[in-house]
Amino acid sequence: MKRLVIVALAMLSGVAALSVEARTLRYAIGHPPSSFVVDVAKQYAESVSELTEGDLKVRVFPMSLLNFAETSGGLRDGMADIGFVLTSYFPAEFPHSNVAVESSMLLGLLGDKVRGKEGMVFMGALSEFTFFHCPECNQEFAKQNQVYTGSTGGSSYGLVCNRPVESAADLSGMRLRVGAANWSRWTEAVGASPVTMSANEMYEALSQGVVGCIVLASPEIHNFGLADVVTDINMDVPGGPMPVAGTNINADTWKSLSPQQRTRMLRAASAFTAGIPWIYHQHEDRILSEAEQRGVKIHHADPDLVAKTNAFIEKDMDFIATDYEKRYNVSRGQEMIADFRELLEKWAGLVQSVDSEQQLADLYWNEIFSKVDVSKHGL
């Protein structure tokens, strides 16, 4: 009998161990399965498993469990444990977060020192800003039952078109598909008309001439299968990436993790934060070169359009602060933008010597993510 009890206890211990090892977190991401973003999400899943020695696993659900518009609410309600949250889709829920997000075109004012590194600069600055300089941002996530674990995004946005664009005159009266409010305002400032639509509708809209251009990062041509309908590209304007809270975690899920597991999740998140801008910048030139080989014309903005864009950026910073105060009671918008501009300058310097994805991930970890207090953050 004693032996049977020992065997039974051993079996129960094995079941308990298996249940811990088998815990799988559901990660909802709105991108198509073939996208570069999903490739990085799969690397993130592998990192979580390796860093937690199999205690936690992540199952990636690309464009299936929740789409972009559903992700924030679905994550809040526990339909997913981790979500790729585009805060720009939800201005009322995340107004403080979006003050920094909407200032992404500030990168254009930093000139050549950030060219080809825009995403790396911006995601470092935004992650540091949100973790340590914006308590209101974290409170907004908490109200949505989410815990912030870093921002990520790709390379700068330009004009992916079905006709040539080099000047403001070319843009006059044209309809542009935009995915964020700052690009919508720029569109109007240069005499064009902004159009909002789902990313899944971009192919049809461009192919049928519903829009003349889509404001988009060049690697998204691959991610959303637009190669067959793009005839002209100009990546000089408007500029700025589309940042997201890429690995937000359901607050109940986060609280159920041990402090060590939270630290490991942040370590994986730092690699994810680095992975997307890195892969986008690596593919940026290739995508444009391949497009040119297919007969797509690559254009450049004339000096007048560049000057108009730069003037718009400076003016728009004041607008963002005033608008968010008026609409969402964000009282310190000017202070936040000034603080964020300093962080952009800081990160423009920090990434200059980075020449590998691992170096970028280590930089993010050492400068930002390792400094998060997991005994307090999100609790």
Q: Please tell me the total number of residues recorded for the chain in this structure.
A: 379
pLDDT-derived band at 22, boundaries 50, 70, 90: low
- Evaluate if residue 6 carries a pLDDT over 50: no
Question: 77-99: per-residue pLDDT in tens?
Answer: 999 999 999 998 899 999 999 99
**361-365 LR contacts (CB < 8 Å, sep 24+):** 361/270, 361/271, 361/273, 361/274, 361/275, 363/124, 363/274, 364/123, 364/124, 364/127, 364/150, 364/270, 364/273, 364/274, 365/267, 365/270, 365/271
Task: Give me the mean pLDDT over the 285-296 stretch.
Answer: 91
Query: What topology does CATH give the domain 22-153+245-285+319-371?
Result: D-Maltodextrin-Binding Protein; domain 2 (3.40.190)
Query: Please, which pLDDT band fits residue 180 given cuts at 50, 70 and 90?
Result: confident
Four-CA torsion 360, 30, 81, 144, nearest 10 degrees: 100
pLDDT at residue 9 tops 70: no
User: pLDDT at residue 32 above 90?
Assistant: no
Band (pLDDT 50/70/90 cuts) for residue 1 is: very low
Would you state the structure tokens that stand for residue 363, as one six-digit string? Answer: 């930089």
pLDDT at 238: 96
Residue type, 150: G
pLDDT tens-digit profile of 36-64?
899 999 999 999 999 999 999 999 999 98
Mean pLDDT of 244-254: 97
* Amino acid 173: pLDDT: 95
Asked if residue 240 has pLDDT above 80, the reply is: yes
User: What is the C-alpha to C-alpha distance for residues 111 and 31, in angstroms, rounded to an integer?
Assistant: 30
Across the chain, mean pLDDT equals: 92
Among the listed ranges 144-158, 250-264, 278-292, 326-340, which one has the minimum average pLDDT value?
278-292
pTM > 0.85: yes or no? yes
* pLDDT, position 21: 56
Rounded CA-CA distance 207/257 in Å is 47
**By the 8 A CB rule, do 127 and 370 touch?**
no
Domain segments of the chain: what residues?
Answer: 22-153+245-285+319-371
Q: What is the pLDDT of residue 330?
A: 96
In this structure, which amino acid lies at residue 309? T
- Dihedral over Cα of 312, 344, 241, 338: its sign: negative
Estimate to the nearest angstrom the gap between the alpha carbon of 342 and the chain centroid.
20
Confidence of residue 224 (pLDDT cuts 50, 70, 90): confident
